[in-house]
Amino acid sequence: AAGPAGMLQPRDTPSRERKELGGLWSFRADLSPGRDAGGPVIDMPVPASFNDITQDPSLENYIGWVWYEKEVLLPPRWLRGDPAPRLVLRFGSAHYYSIVWVNGVQVVEHEGGHLPFEADISSVVQASPGTLCRITVALNNTLTPHTLPPGSIQYMTDKARYPKNYFVQDIRFDFFNYAGIHRPVVLYTTPAAYIDDITVTTTSSDTAALVHYQVSVVGSTANSLSLSLLDQEGKVVATGDGPVGELKVLNPNLWWPYLMHEKPGYLYSLEVKMQAQVGGVLLEDVYTLPVGIRTVHVTSSQFLINGRPFYFHGVNKHEDADIRGKGLDWPLIVKDFNLLRWLGANSFRTSHYPYAEEIMDLCDAYGIVVIDESPGVGIKLPESFGNKSLQHHLAVMEELVRRDKNRPSVVMWSVANEPASELPPAAHYFKTVIAHTKALDPSRPVTFVTDANYALDRGAPYVDVICVNSYFSWYHDPGHLEVIPLQLTAQFENWYKTYQKPIIQSEYGADSVPGLHSDPPMMFSEEYQQALLRHYHSVLDKKRKEYVIGELIWNFADFMTNQGTTRVLGNKKGIFTRQRQPKAAAFVLRDRYWKIANESSCLPPLITSHSLFL
């Protein structure tokens, strides 16, 4: 298992090289109950989910072990030198449980489907003759009451109705449990002594900012560190040395959200250089970290970024698309960011798991604000609140904070979505997870997203911001839009009266099948989705003058779910189709978001949705 080591994103630097291992891998599913027999060996793209790639229905809904394998030629220079470079194999993510071998030697095991893991494979590769490196991955997507997300395996024992050994995977969340190697696999090198981790926090006033840093080095006790902070023109604006310190920046360019500033997402580059003596040889390592200077502060009724009130007008997303499932796909990622900016969205929540680092990089660069959510979705069963689940949840928060702690776009952690937080053990559970997250990162507020009753929720006392999901006139009083004003107003007032904390409407929405029309509006028509949004917006417009600090539509795009009698090829609550084409509701939201942006902006209202895209 991975220790408390750093998890810096692999980058090419003067001292580090990277080799991406995407493309075709050999793949086989253990299709039969016998240990030795498996399905055929086939080609499988990486990164991608395996579920939708073939015409085999047994692979679409497969539960159990699958195998991936690839042979890679290593550059000879990676194996030479005294000391030889350190060689690391890293997976951006693989769902859910992974065991990895290199040349037949097990190098790492990892539980969790949405965060990176890696292994130092130097000794294994140097012990093998030649430069061929065989990477084998066993992957299991089974979910249990103690995984995150949880699930359970249900055996159907009625012989009259089910074949022998028949089972199904039960999940308590509404999205398809795609599996596979979902994010890039890379080999990268560092010197034998290297920069292992960097932690950055920032504080600022009107005229100056401080960049506090902490750097850890592994492989050498005798080393020196020098740091330079460069602006976007490449000019050095501050320097420092040593493992801990602060850099003072005069008249800093702050990191601002999209539509709050004419230059959103301003990033400096922190260049860290290490020199170390190892066995009489001088080694040098260089790593460059993007740094955004910004502060976050929560009051009883406001969310402040750089001291200015910030209103979340954004979306919930999924990593989900045709054919590739949850596999990382650059055209899709760039299309989604272009749609977000067209929409006038300034934020999203990573519902319901951490997203790819490549997506987070663009949030930092474009000024898209992120509520960074753990895979804690579907925590419904009492046994999922026990000590075993809790310990794993704490470990997952450590992995998530370690990966994303330096990102200016991340302004809040979310530890869970719609847990059964009315259950008695939820109090201790969420108190512990939230306290642990704050201890790991005191610089950001922490929340979880609730759909429990305000009077019964046992986790809410511990959050900094109340995030509420509600589906009035959809799951409750379906078809009755007229109840929304009363019910939504009561929801906000009850929560605020009880907790005096700012509130985000973290989910609301309605399914609409594109091309289905009805006036007067009826459920599943594009008109009903539009009407429901407008009813919610009229209440939000009153409450955002008081203590409501945001609204996130469910969902950005249609996405795949398990099959069920209320799901026609997935969840249709997207304002865009799964192919990213707008439904009528997208235009309602776009008009609203640009209106809100122009109200609160210090920019001239010349920024219209059109001028940005001409």
Return the structure tokens found at 511.
């399914």
Could you tell me where the DSSP H helices lie in 441-482? none
d(CA 132, CA 492): 61
The amino acid sitting at 3 is G
Burial class from Cβ neighbours inside 10 Å (0-12, 13-18, 19+) for residue 168 reads middle
User: Are 510 and 573 a contacting pair, CB within 8 Å?
Assistant: yes
Contacts of 156 (CB under 8 A, 6+ apart): 162, 166, 167, 168
d(CA 154, CA 170): 7
Of 118, 399, 418, 526, the active-site residue reads: 418
d(CA 91, CA 114): 10
The strand order across the sheet containing 208-218 reads 194-204, 208-218, 244-250
Phi, psi of 554 (to 5 degrees): -105, 110
β-pairing verdict for 223-230 and 236-241: antiparallel
What is the CB neighbour count within 10 angstroms for residue 484? Answer: 22
Residue 418 annotated among the catalytic residues of the structure: yes
What are the angstrom distances between the C-alpha of 433 and each of 71, 83, 197, 428? 41, 42, 23, 9
How distant is the alpha carbon of residue 310 from its chain centre? 21
- CA-only gyration radius of the chain, Å: 25
d(CA 155, CA 167): 4
What angle is formed at CA 67 by the lines to CA 65 and CA 72, rounded to 5 degrees?
160
d(CA 571, CA 142): 22
User: Are 254 and 267 a contacting pair, CB within 8 Å?
Assistant: no
Phi, psi of 110 (to 5 degrees): -150, 135
User: Are 361 and 334 a contacting pair, CB within 8 Å?
Assistant: no
User: Are 440 and 434 a contacting pair, CB within 8 Å?
Assistant: no
In the DSSP assignment, the letter for residue 137 is E
Return the structure tokens found at 529.
């989705």
d(CA 53, CA 347): 32
Greatest distance between any 2 Cα atoms in the chain: 81
The amino acid sitting at 4 is P
Which residues belong to the active site?
418
